[in-house]
Copies of this chain bind each other. A is one copy, B any other.
Amino acid sequence: MLESHELVVTWTSPDRPGLVHAVTGACARVGGNLTECQQFTSTDTGNFFIRLQVESASSRAELESALRELAGKYHATFCVDELGRPVRTLILASKAPHCLSHLLFNRDAGRLPIDVVQVMANHPDLADLAAFYKVPFQWQRVDRESKASFEQEVLRTVSNLDVELVVLARYMQILSPELCERLSGRCINIHHSFLPGFKGANPYRQAHSRGVKLIGATAHFVTVDLDEGPIIEQRVQRVTHSQTVAQLTAVGQDTESATLNEAVRLFAEHRTFLDGMRTVILQ
């Protein structure tokens, strides 16, 4: 018999009366005790979302089996996981170290439940950083000719290493539409502006020209429409007229790191849900 441990359940389905009762009933039947429960019904889409933490002597498989039957009836997708299990993560990066460093530091400090199974880059610069944190690093040049083969390698890695989450940690290449599709719902990017302001290239230069008083960063799920994916987290920082583009960039990079880190945490803790072009964050 298993000792008591904690499971996390996420569930998405069209809304129907009695859903909370039904889902929590399935948990109760296998001896689970809820320690946390957050629920939301979207009036925009009619979708129902719930996240449960369940203290249980039952196994993950038992709870899954109890929910599977229900899920069929309610046309639901659901997931049961051990609370705090590190999510298998692939990070793509280029030259800028700040986001990668922040993620690896926090993972190392035990604050971010991810297992970085691989870092892939289109430049060699971050090899030492990855080595310091003891995560596997590989790189290959990406240009017009080699882009397809790099993306193939990404997909192979995702498949071979059972990757659950791909993080673009200031990876300075646009993914092909095919790759976006394949990674849909499990690929997070950090854009260095407060979207929808300053889409596209050089957002800090744009921000300087426009004379904004706050700069920001946006972590979002990657979709085929660049900079248009569902937003997970946004943060801003106050700036002044006196800051140059270079200074805005420096200030902004701290915001990028923190914003991406928070989005990854929310995903890894099973707190992010897709609701059309928006996210629901249950915390």
Using CB atoms and an 8 Å cutoff, list the residues of chain A in contact with chain B.
15, 17-21, 24-25, 27-28, 31-43, 50, 97-98, 101, 105, 109, 111, 128, 132, 194-198, 209-214, 216, 230-236, 240-242, 244, 250, 253-254, 258, 275, 277-281
One complex includes copies of this chain to the number of 4
Given known contacts A17-B28, A17-B33, A254-B258, A194 and B197 CB-to-CB distance under 8 angstroms: yes
Given A216-B214, A254-B258, the answer on whether A21 and B17 have CB atoms closer than 8 Å is no
**DSSP class of A's interface residues: helix, strand, loop or mixed?**
mixed
* Alpha-carbon distance A50/B232, docked complex (angstroms): 26
What CA separation (Å) do A36 and B20 show in the bound complex? 10
B277, A209: Cβ atoms closer than 8 Å: yes
Alpha-carbon distance between A235 and B194 when the two chains are bound, in angstroms:
13
Q: Is the CB of A240 within 8 A of B21?
A: no
Please indicate which of the listed interface residues A20, A37, A38, A233 has the most CB atoms of chain B within 10 Å of its own CB.
Answer: A20
Quick check: B197 and A213 within 8 Å, CB to CB? no
Which of B20, B98, B212, B214 sits near A20, CB closer than 8 Å? B20
CA distance A109 to B84 in the complex (A): 32
